[in-house]
Amino acid sequence: MEQLPFGIDFGGTGIKGAPVDLGQGEFAAERERIRTPSPSTPEAVAEVFVELLGHFPDSRGAVGVTVPGVVRHGVVHSAANIDRAWIGTDADRLFTEATGRDVHVVNDADAAGLAEARYGAAKGRRGLVIVTTLGTGIGSALVHDGVLVPNSELGHLEIDGHDAESRAANSVREREGLSMQDWAGRLTRYYSTLEMLFSPDLIVVGGGVSKQSAEFLPLIDIETEIVPATLRNKAGVVGAALYATENLDG
């Protein structure tokens, strides 16, 4: 296990991590989860990472970390659902120094997109794949011939005068009590806009609600092939480990 990379999925409520077998796209040991500290400052989260890695003393490879924000060359530039202290933080350097490991951070939706492109619903697909995660907001990843175009943030497209995720995120469906039929109407508007702007070859739909994809995906009326994600809650950890190993931030 020594040289296996380690993936950490940092979310608003929990921080999950495991060593990853990149040959299979699977966890190499049972995942550990630690509650996200409050406040979730970079320094407090770094302490949790040290604790988490301590559960896997045999794992010595590179460490990838998902962050729910825009990440450019290891620096975090937005913080919608985490502490604002993250903005402007060189997270690669902070976590590398705190853990004594080679750490690389990546946007959480981008990590999921990489994992789905390499091991999941978009495996072996050429051309442009758009992976979206429907949850509190809408995350997105653009992957062209297996290469990530980072920080696409397509949940924030303005459609009909609204921020797209404010109308079509899964949290909105739950809050407004929308039927799957009504929600699918909003998703059709969203995905048809992506279709018009990007002409993708495939759209992959992830997020926890993808478990119920049979209830709403067939109701989305677009021309592009649209399929559910297959890695589910493994995608962040696996994609982060892949990102760190291949040093995709250059």
Please write the tens of the pLDDT for every residue from 156-180: 999 999 999 999 999 999 999 999 9
What is the CATH code for 6-110+234-245? 3.30.420.40
**pLDDT tens across 125-158, in order?**
999 999 999 998 999 999 999 999 999 999 999 9
Look-up of token digits 């279709």: 195
Q: What pLDDT is stored for residue 101 in this prediction?
A: 95
Cα–chain center distance at 31: 17
Instruction: Report pTM.
Output: 0.93
| 147 conformational bin, left if phi > 0, alpha if psi -120 to 50, beta if neither | beta
* Cis before 150 (ω within 30): no
Length reported for the chain: 250
| The pLDDT of residue 167 | 98
Q: Do 6-110+234-245 and 124-230 come out as alike in CATH topology? A: yes
CATH class of the domain comprising 124-230: alpha beta
In the chain, where the domains are located = 6-110+234-245, 124-230
Mean per-residue pLDDT, 32-39: 94
DSSP 155-213: GG-EETTEETHHHHSHHHHHHHT--HHHHHHHHHHHHHHHHHHH--SEEEEESGGGGGH
% of the chain residues with pLDDT over 90: 89
Sign of CA dihedral 30, 34, 35, 40: negative
**What pLDDT shows up at residue 193?**
98
pLDDT above 60: residue 249: no
pLDDT at 21: 95
Per-residue pLDDT for 35 more than 70?
A: yes
5/247: higher pLDDT: 5
